Amino acid sequence: MSYTEKFTEVHKMLVSENSPALVVGTYDSPWVSLQNYHRAIAILHVLDMGAGATLDFSIRQATDTSGTSAKVITNTAGVTTHAITQLTQAGGDVDSDCIIELRTAQLDVTNGFDCISVRAVVAVDTCVASYHVFGIIPRFPPVGVTEWTEVVYPA
């Protein structure tokens, strides 16, 4: 990113989830393609967690935006990558911010995996959290800004 590029020219918000409360369960974002990006980031912000609550957050991969052949992202040793350490209310993780960075080369590109989704798993009690996924380092900048309600570029 050069000094003169605007944030919105090289970062595309692909997913935005702002929920008043995530009750116990599994939440999957829509599948999005990374064909036009070299990297992606998933940002999680936890505002509050009920007594004993736990929250897991990860990025998964698929071969298309329907989630075909969905699977976790692993390294060459088969160890799951691209997942945060579980957040817990008991561990004081209320008001936490986490980020997962992904290079598209870390996907199983050999087998056609180029789409991602984030998964939040809430257990024991409700969590108040939001998450966003950005495509970054576009292959063909600038990216569109249609997902934003307003973009302000000061003079």
Residue 47 pLDDT greater than 80, yes or no: yes
Answer with the residue of higher pLDDT: 53 or 141.
Answer: 53
Residue 1 pLDDT grade (very low, low, confident, very high; cuts 50, 70, 90)? low
Using DSSP's 3-state secondary structure scheme, residue 112 falls into coil
* pTM (2 d.p.): 0.92
Contacts of 91 (CB under 8 A, 6+ apart): none
Distances (CA, A) of 119 to 5, 44, 57: 31, 11, 6
- 68-91 pLDDT per residue, tens: 999 999 988 888 999 999 999 999
Sequence length of the chain is 155
Residue-range domains of the chain with CATH: 7-138 (2.60.120)
**Which pair of structure tokens corresponds to residue 144?**
């569109």
> How far is CA 101 from each of CA 68, 72, 89, 91, 148, rounded to the nearest angstrom?
22, 14, 24, 24, 22
pLDDT at 153: 86
3-state SS, residue 31? coil
- Burial letters 7-41, b for 16+ CB under 10 A, else e: ebbbbbebbebeeeebeeeebebebbebeebebbb
Q: How confident is the model at residue 38 (pLDDT cuts 50, 70, 90)?
A: very high
| pLDDT over threshold 80, residue 155 | no
